[in-house]
Structure 1
Amino acid sequence: MDIETLIVDLLSGNIVLLLLAALLITVVFKGVKIVPQSEQYVVERFGRLRAVLGPGINLIVPFIDRVAHEISILERQLPNASQDAITKDNVLLQVETSVFYRITEPERTVYRIRDVDGAIATTVAGIVRAEIGKMDLDDVQANRAQLITTIKALVEDSVNDWGIQVTRAEILDVNLDQATRDAMLQQLNAERARRAQVTEAEGSKRAVELAADAELYASEQTAKARRILADAEAYATQVVADAINENGLEAAQYQIALKQVESLTALGSGSGKQTIVVPAQAIEAFGDAFKLLKGRGA
């Protein structure tokens, strides 16, 4: 009987130890929380926010505190959304957008908004419509980068109370309705035709200018040549005048008479030209020439 009592006592003691060990393990499991690097845990105590646990080992009060939300803090991308918008000049556009964001304050996100993605998508759609409504179509196409920056800043202000940081906002595409596309194509073709006409007109104008420049250059060169020839004739006249001034008029007359005699001799020596009829004034000139030649011993 004593042995049986001892066995029962030992078994009872072991059960108690096992229960204590199980309780200890449960307490440790419930009280120690290991949070991954990419997450944060929101802890509640009796239904109220108690703490936000960061990455690493964290301790909470077992059975009193509990992890109510496990929030990923990685950057997220909303599904690409397409919404209609009307520009200031009444052109219907279909704008495709994409937004990237991350949760920075989980306690705000889980207690202030239910559907984060839906709320951000709705906010972006409203802001895009409002901003495009302030711009003409040409401004939307030309200032897309500025429009993206404005949309990002406005979305950040709108979602700030939700503990969210908008990291990027993109306008992926801007599509026009078919009627607007056809009108823009006609305008583009007309602009190309106008530019071609302007280019042709400018070419014709340039050709006329070049022809006029060439004609002016030719005239200048002709005038220059005439001026040079006149200068040469003036120079020759001056040389003759200087020679007459230095050697006297008689030397010049002598050279003229010599040339006259040479010309008369050439005429007389030709075939069938032995008889020469000259004017009386020429005979007097020849007489003077012969006198000069005789006087010089020719």
Structure 2
Amino acid sequence: MDQFLAEIQPGTVIWLLVAVFVISIIFRGVRIVPQSDKHVVERFGRLHSVLGPGINFVVPFLDKVKHQISILERQLPTASQDAITKDNVLVQVDTSVFYRIIEPEKTVYRIRDVDAAIATTVAGIVRAEIGKMDLDDVQANRSQLIDTIKGSVEDAVDDWGIEVTRAEILDVNLDQATREAMLQQLNAERARRAQVTEAEGQKRAVELQADAQLYSAEQIAKARRIQAEAEAYATAVVAKAITEHGIEAAQYQVALKQVEALNTLGAGSGSQTIVVPASALEAFGDAFKMLKGNK
């Protein structure tokens, strides 16, 4: 080994040192940033640049990668905060927020604990927004409340280089007394709806019965009108016949009615005896002669 070192010329050693120095410079000047990260570079203690994913070059010994920031989406731990609604009901709201860092130079130089800052901001906004709404509105318009909270948080954290991707209200909890009061109100509302439904059913039944009676009266009146029209038509025909043929037509109609009456009497059941006066027999005989003559 000593013999090998002795054989090395001084110029060769210098070249080796230069090569090592150059390799070190290249190694320190090249920075490979993963796709999920961004690197914040400082020069003499001040912000110089932000390195994106891929191969980047910096000035060795002057530039220093001070912060390596993940740009993946993050989720804050579920937080619970008390809030009072507009109608003075105390509720406990469980919230969760998702965000990602898009401008790391703002995040690292403007806020120390970004998670705690966002959590505090969300808690204040939730209390403020719920204080503007009644309890029923909080329960019914949860999606609208979520959108409002998300927009307010985005405006509050804009200077921190953060994008709020999603905000969720996981649950709205009530104290036991409020739950019991709401249950009683719900039962009362159900009873009221049942009574209204029953009353509407009875009203509809009365309306249908009245419609049926009206329809029956209309049909009876229609039948009577048709019958009256038929009788009027028959009377008109007889009157016309009397006008055209004189007294013979009237006698013919009387004879026809007498024969029909006789047939009705003869069609009766039983063994009853019918006594007909002699004058009636003569009238029937004249009727039969007249009917026979008209035929």
Cα distance, 1:139 vs. partner? 1.3
Q: CA 1:73–1:257 in structure 2 vs 1: closer, same or farther (change >3 Å)? A: closer
The 5 Å alignment of 1:95-174 reads: 95-174=93-172
Q: Which of these two proteins has the greater Rg computed from alpha carbons? A: 1
CA distance in 2: counterparts of 1:292 and 1:161, whole angstroms: 122
Cα distance, 1:72 vs. partner? 1.0
Cα distance, 1:288 vs. partner? 7.1
Moved more, 55-64 or 130-139: 55-64
Write the deviation string for residues 152-176 of structure 1: whole angstroms up to 9, x where unpaired: 1111111111111112112122222
Provide structure 2 residue ranges, at least 5 long, that are not aligned to the other structure: none
Give the partner amino acid of 2:85.
T
Q: Which residue of 2 aligns with 1:222?
A: 220
Moved more, 47-56 or 131-140: 47-56
Q: Which residue of 2 aligns with 1:240?
A: 238
TM-score (norm 2): 0.84
TM-score (norm 1): 0.83
Please give the secondary structure, in 2, of the residue aligned with 1:37.
coil
Cα distance, 1:13 vs. partner? 4.8
- Number of positions where the alignment pairs a residue of Structure 1 with one of Structure 2: 287
CA distance in 2: counterparts of 1:256 and 1:174, whole angstroms: 97
Write the deviation string for residues 242-284 of structure 1: whole angstroms up to 9, x where unpaired: 22222221353366468769959x99xxx9969x584xxx84x
Q: Which residue of 1 aligns with 2:201?
A: 203
Please give the secondary structure, in 2, of the residue aligned with 1:33.
strand
Q: CA 1:160–1:259 in structure 2 vs 1: closer, same or farther (change >3 Å)? A: closer
Q: Which residue of 2 aligns with 1:185?
A: 183
Query: Would the aligned equivalents of 2:74 and 2:98 in 1 still touch at CA under 8 Å?
Result: yes
The percent of aligned pairs where both chains have the same amino acid is: 71
Cα distance, 1:7 vs. partner? 5.9
Q: CA 1:169–1:251 in structure 2 vs 1: closer, same or farther (change >3 Å)? A: closer
Please give the secondary structure, in 1, of the residue aligned with 2:8.
helix
Please give the secondary structure, in 2, of the residue aligned with 1:102.
strand
Q: CA 1:252–1:124 in structure 2 vs 1: closer, same or farther (change >3 Å)? A: same
Provide structure 1 residue ranges, at least 5 long, that are not aligned to the other structure: none
Among 250, 253, 270, which residue is 2:251 paired with?
253
CA distance in 2: counterparts of 1:49 and 1:219, whole angstroms: 97
